Structure formats: C-alpha cells, structure tokens
C-alpha cells in the first residue's frame, strides 16, 4: 500500500497541522542544520552559529553545491527517513526545499518508496494573507490546511 507525502516548499508550521505526530513529519531545514553541525569544517564562513544555519539553509546548501558536497545533506535525509521508517513520513516542510537539487533528491527518495507526492509551495509576497499552492491550485493557508489534513475517520 502506498502512502501520501506532502512536500511543502517554505516553512509556516503547516506540517504540524496536517500530521498526527512528530514521527510523521520532517523539517528539511533541520536536516541541513544536523548535516552542518556534523561537518562544521565544510560550513560557509560566518555560519558557526546554529541559529544562522537554521535561518539561512539555502545559503548552506549553495555552498555545499559549490564544493560538490551535496551528499552530506542527502545522506542525512536518508538516515532520518530510515530511522522514522520511510513509509511513515506524511509531510516534509522547509525553506531548503526551494533549492531544486535538494527537493529533487527528497522527491526521489519518496518516489522510490512508492509514495504519492503532493507538491505544495507557500506564497508569502503576493498577498497580505499567506497562501499555498497545492499541485497548481492556489488556496488560503486555512483552506490548504483543511484540504491536506487527513480525514478524521481514517485513524
């Protein structure tokens, strides 16, 4: 039986509202942080502080891309996915998913597990009300959360 995984480009805490527990969701920005803390010698200059890494994960990923060290963060994601039992993951969220090669790697992992992927992105700039695009359709954040939330009858 295949599962559904919601991939959310951007971070607004949506994954917490559409999953039942922490084990069902992954914050992709935290994966970047974990990988950077494990290998501080490969972090960009000025990124010694963990709060800077978590606030600017795309810059860390760009630096690793320049060094051909993308495998650090991809391996870290694979470890997290394995630890949580890949099929149990229901949502992945983070600003780091806006980095195409990282997003593509995460999509590949879940596709390999035969998951149905629901691709979403947060829209911060177009409207004073936060919106989300779900598979090409634009919704307000509240509508999007209702649409993505599992049916309460499904346990």
pLDDT in tens, 22-75: 999 999 999 999 999 999 999 999 998 999 999 999 999 999 999 999 999 999
pLDDT confidence band for 153 (50 / 70 / 90): low
User: What pLDDT, on the 0 to 100 scale, is given for residue 63?
Assistant: 96
- Cβ neighbours around 34 below 10 Å, total: 18
Higher per-residue pLDDT: 126 or 102: 102
Asked if 124 contacts 10 with a C-beta cutoff of 8 angstroms, the reply is yes
Residue % of the chain over a pLDDT of 70: 94
Q: What is the pLDDT of residues 65-109, one digit of tens each?
A: 999 999 999 999 999 999 988 889 999 999 999 999 999 999 999
Average pLDDT, stretch 132-146?
93
Can you give the pTM of this predicted structure? 0.91
**Is pLDDT above 70 for 12?**
yes
* DSSP β-ladder status, 131-134 and 116-123: antiparallel
Asked if 70 contacts 4 with a C-beta cutoff of 8 angstroms, the reply is no
User: What pLDDT, on the 0 to 100 scale, is given for residue 154?
Assistant: 55
Long-range Cβ pairs for the range 12-15 (8 Å, 24+): 12/122, 12/130, 12/141, 13/93, 14/91, 14/93, 14/120, 14/122, 14/132, 14/141, 14/144, 14/145, 14/148, 15/91, 15/92, 15/93
User: What pLDDT, on the 0 to 100 scale, is given for residue 128?
Assistant: 63
pLDDT confidence band for 143 (50 / 70 / 90): very high
Average pLDDT, the chain: 91
User: What pLDDT, on the 0 to 100 scale, is given for residue 130?
Assistant: 85
């Amino acid at each position: 039986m295949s599962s559904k995984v919601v991939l959310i480009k951007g971070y607004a805490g949506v994954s917490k509202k559409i999953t039942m527990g922490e084990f069902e969701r992954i914050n992709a920005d935290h994966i970047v942080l974990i990988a950077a803390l494990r290998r501080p010698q490969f972090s960009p200059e000025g990124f010694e502080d963990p709060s800077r890494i978590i606030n600017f994960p795309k810059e860390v990923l760009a630096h690793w891309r320049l060094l051909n060290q993308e495998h650090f963060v991809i391996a870290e994601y694979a470890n997290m996915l394995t630890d949580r039992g890949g099929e149990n993951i229901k949502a992945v969220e983070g600003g780091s998913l806006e980095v195409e090669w990282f997003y593509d790697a995460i999509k590949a992992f879940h596709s390999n597990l035969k998951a149905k992927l629901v691709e979403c992105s947060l829209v911060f700039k177009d409207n004073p009300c936060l919106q989300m695009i779900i598979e090409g359709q634009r919704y307000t954040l509240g509508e999007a959360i209702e649409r993505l939330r599992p049916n309460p009858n499904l346990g």
